[in-house]
Amino acid sequence: MTEPYVRKEIKGAVAYVEFFHPSHNSLPSNLLAELTDTITSLGTDDAVRVIVLKSGGERTFCAGASFNELISIQDKEEGLRFFSGFANVINAMRKCPKFIIGRVQGKAVGGGVGLASATDYCMATKYSSIKLSELNIGIGPFVVGPAIERKIGLSAMSQIAIKANTFFDPEWAKNKGLYTEVFPDAAAMDAGIVELTESLAQYNADAMVQMKKMFWSGTENWDDLLIERAAISGELVLSGFTRETLKRFA
């Protein structure tokens, strides 16, 4: 696989949404937009009862923001547009009336942790360490922060945000509530996902819609909040510190 994509596959009442990018499944603007549209569309499909969010390949689940696109940002408007992509995906997941099951087969970094946190039930393998690396380059997990904080709490979120050079192991993430189950490998995880989704597909769809609303109660301001956070990131990415740091990484 060399070409980036977002694909969906529907098996019975279960929709599998898969994204891929050859650079460790990082997410440029076009893939973020495709993810947003795909999840929104599936939310209106009466034949679909549950959605599984996954990434291609066997290693990294998601490396977060596209590094090349970060480097190319030239002004606040471009920065806002780019970081709004993550805001839009998280809001689409939040507002989707179907349960979204996360499949995390490998490391999740930055925005990847945000995606995992925005799922309703997240399964992972023992290789699925997490890291919030944003502070390393002079910004912060502003857009994904609300989703992460909602899932693991402010104390744990601040811990991984401040220790921006550190990968936290999957058991830590499970103990904090991000992962529901940690499996020895992807095959065992996939078997667990099939078992769960087959059960969910038999449940009362209306009951699951109401449960999803209940789970996300209190986030009704996120349409505005996450865009405000995107503006902060879009401004900080233009700072001298961040520009020089990005050049060194490049």
Domain ranges of the chain: 5-186
The pLDDT tens digits of the residues spanning 158-205 come to: 999 999 999 999 999 999 999 999 999 999 999 999 999 999 999 999
Secondary structure (H, E, C), 140-197: CCCCCHHHHHHHHCHHHHHHHHHCCCCCECHHHHHHHCCCCEEECCHHHHHHHHHHHH
CA distance 204 to 41: 20
pLDDT given at position 248: 84
Q: Sheet harboring 181-183: ordered strands across?
A: 5-11, 14-20, 50-55, 99-104, 121-125, 181-183
pLDDT given at position 1: 63
For range 81-105, the mean pLDDT = 97
Please tell me the pTM assigned to this model.
0.96
- pLDDT at 67 exceeding the cut of 90: no
Residues 6+ apart with CB under 8 A from 115: 53, 62, 89, 90, 93, 102, 108, 144
pLDDT given at position 140: 95
Structure tokens at 233: 């990131």
Q: Which residues pair with 62 in a beta bridge?
A: 108
The pLDDT tens digits of the residues spanning 22-40 come to: 999 999 999 999 999 999 9
For residue 3, the 8-state DSSP code is S
Of 3.40.50.720, 3.30.1950.10, 3.40.50.410, 3.90.226.10, the CATH number of 5-186 is 3.90.226.10
CA distance 123 to 103: 5
